[in-house]
């Protein structure tokens, strides 16, 4: 979005250069402010006037969950790293020195989890196709280059590496022809997810250039748009100059016989309270699009069952479909935001039990891990052993989808890699011993 477009739309962004002034509004002292700024040299910061003025309860900051949703916290990174960066800022070190130190910290934060760089990138021959991921046979993710920013950044975002200005860490493509060509070569693909960043940061003419070429592909059954715009800038569908044109574009996707799924990201019930959100949802649904909702479970922001039950009820009332509760991914400040899997299951169970059947379309807690989407179904005692019961909602190997498996109970585990298999020597998605031992070694054994 250009500066001129922002003025016309009434959109005002706040970036790192505005951070100190906003932190003063939260009542932070000088030392706390410089430590927050130190974290912001590593992880991206961006918000906007709508979030600042309409969503955040400044009287409750810095503990307000909406404040914590977009503002870095001084203890999100290891103490030694924050102190080192804060010292550089305090001493007004050269920008290059600050950036070098920040880069060093980033490399330790697993910027591309779940095999994104080496397992998910599709290839034509030996050449990778930029700006795309193909993890599951039927679904391709596409990252339009103009959509690789957001109206505001979530502090826990697993795609933080898209926003830090390091080209080697970024997925992006402006070549929709390569996407169409790849899809034609892979008839098993029936769905495309347009993702980011946030595709809805793009104006209607740009968005149209990416969507229209997909409408003639008979193999495509669905087009998904992953976005947090309903929470961070609902005006995009109501009062922006191209709001009506955007909705007409959505309608044309539906008229072409494609299921248009608008994947809305809501992290807290308060994001749905402004009346403009309901209006935006009504206008999107009127095009024939389906609005599905999803978000991760995040410590200090939404780690209570009442919060999730309230969100699901509000979404269902507005005509949206609760879809996923995710587990915070193993990247960025995971240690700061992660909720143990055992507690996550309890939160999901208690929220699920307190809503009607219309809200029970939601799935979770789900880990988007290397082998696929692993769902924690519960905790049980089997043959005298306390175990997690899990299954794969989606998988690289479709043959594993829906098959239950067990892991030893661990109250501290926060991710799949923290778990050990129960009643077996490996998880179903792991190679057998024979597969792990090189063939030559087996032949000489």
| pLDDT given for residue 436 in this prediction | 57
φ, ψ dihedrals at 434, nearest 5°: -65, -35
- For residues 13 and 153, the answer to whether their CB atoms sit within 8 Å is no
DSSP secondary structure string for all residues of 373-407 = EEEEEEEEEETTEEEEEEEEEEESSGGGBT-EEEE
Q: Enumerate long-range contacts of 25-34, CB under 8 Å, 24 or more apart.
A: 25/58, 25/61, 26/58, 26/61, 26/62, 26/67, 26/71, 27/61, 27/62, 28/62, 32/74, 34/86, 34/89, 34/90
Q: Is 167 exposed, middle or buried (0-12, 13-18, 19+ CB in 10 A)?
A: exposed
- For residues 411 and 398, the answer to whether their CB atoms sit within 8 Å is no
Give CA 419 to chain center in angstroms: 23
| pLDDT given for residue 172 in this prediction | 80
Q: What is the largest CA-CA distance in the chain?
A: 73
| pLDDT given for residue 435 in this prediction | 64
| pLDDT given for residue 80 in this prediction | 95
| pLDDT given for residue 119 in this prediction | 76
Q: Which residues of the chain have pLDDT under 50?
A: 2-8, 439-440, 442-445
| pLDDT given for residue 218 in this prediction | 97
φ, ψ dihedrals at 373, nearest 5°: -90, 110
Determine the length of the chain: 445
The predicted-structure confidence for 235-278, as pLDDT tens digits, reads as follows 999 999 999 999 999 999 999 999 999 999 999 999 999 999 99
| pLDDT given for residue 148 in this prediction | 92
Distance CA 226, CA 27 (A): 34
| pLDDT given for residue 170 in this prediction | 72
């Amino acid at each position: 979005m250009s500066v001129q477009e922002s003025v016309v739309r009434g959109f005002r962004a706040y970036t790192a250069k505005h951070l100190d002034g906003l932190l003063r509004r939260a009542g932070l002292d000088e030392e706390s402010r410089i430590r927050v700024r130190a974290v912001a040299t590593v992880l991206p910061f961006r918000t906007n006037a709508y979030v600042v003025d309409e969503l955040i309860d400044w009287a409750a900051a810095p503990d307000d969950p909406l404040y914590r949703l977009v503002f870095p916290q001084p203890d999100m990174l290891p103490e030694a790293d924050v102190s080192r960066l804060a010292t550089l800022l305090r001493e007004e070190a050269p920008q290059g020195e600050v950036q070098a130190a920040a880069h060093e910290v980033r490399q330790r934060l697993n910027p591309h989890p779940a095999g994104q760089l080496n397992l998910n990138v599709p290839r034509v021959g030996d050449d990778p196709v930029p700006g795309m991921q193909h993890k599951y046979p039927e679904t391709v993710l596409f990252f339009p280059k103009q959509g690789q920013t957001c109206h505001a950044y979530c502090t826990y975002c697993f795609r933080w590496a898209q926003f830090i200005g390091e080209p080697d860490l970024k997925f992006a493509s402006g070549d929709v022809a390569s996407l169409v060509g790849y899809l034609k070569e892979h008839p098993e693909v029936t769905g495309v997810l347009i993702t980011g960043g946030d595709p809805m940061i793009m104006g209607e003419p740009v968005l149209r250039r990416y969507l229209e070429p997909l409408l003639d592909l008979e193999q495509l059954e669905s087009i998904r748009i992953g976005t947090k715009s309903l929470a961070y800038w609902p005006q995009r569908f109501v009062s922006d100059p191209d709001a009506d044109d955007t909705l007409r574009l959505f309608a044309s996707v539906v008229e072409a016989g494609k299921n248009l799924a608008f994947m809305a990201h809501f992290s807290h019930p308060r994001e749905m309270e402004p009346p403009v959100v309901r209006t935006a949802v009504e206008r999107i649904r009127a095009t024939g699009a389906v609005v599905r909702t999803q978000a991760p479970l995040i410590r200090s922001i939404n780690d209570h069952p009442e919060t999730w039950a309230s969100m699901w009820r509000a979404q269902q009332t507005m005509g949206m479909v609760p879809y996923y509760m995710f587990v915070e991914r193993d990247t960025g400040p995971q240690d700061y935001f992660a909720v143990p899997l055992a507690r996550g299951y309890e939160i999901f169970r208690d929220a699920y039990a307190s809503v009607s059947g219309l809200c029970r379309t939601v799935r979770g807690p789900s880990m988007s891990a290397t082998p696929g989407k692993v769902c924690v179904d519960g905790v049980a005692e089997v043959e005298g052993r306390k175990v997690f019961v899990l299954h794969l909602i989606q998988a690289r190997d479709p043959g594993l989808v829906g098959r239950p498996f067990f892991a030893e109970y661990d109250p501290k585990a926060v991710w799949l890699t923290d778990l050990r298999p129960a009643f077996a020597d490996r998880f179903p998605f792991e190679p057998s011993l024979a597969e792990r031992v090189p063939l030559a070694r087996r032949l000489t054994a």
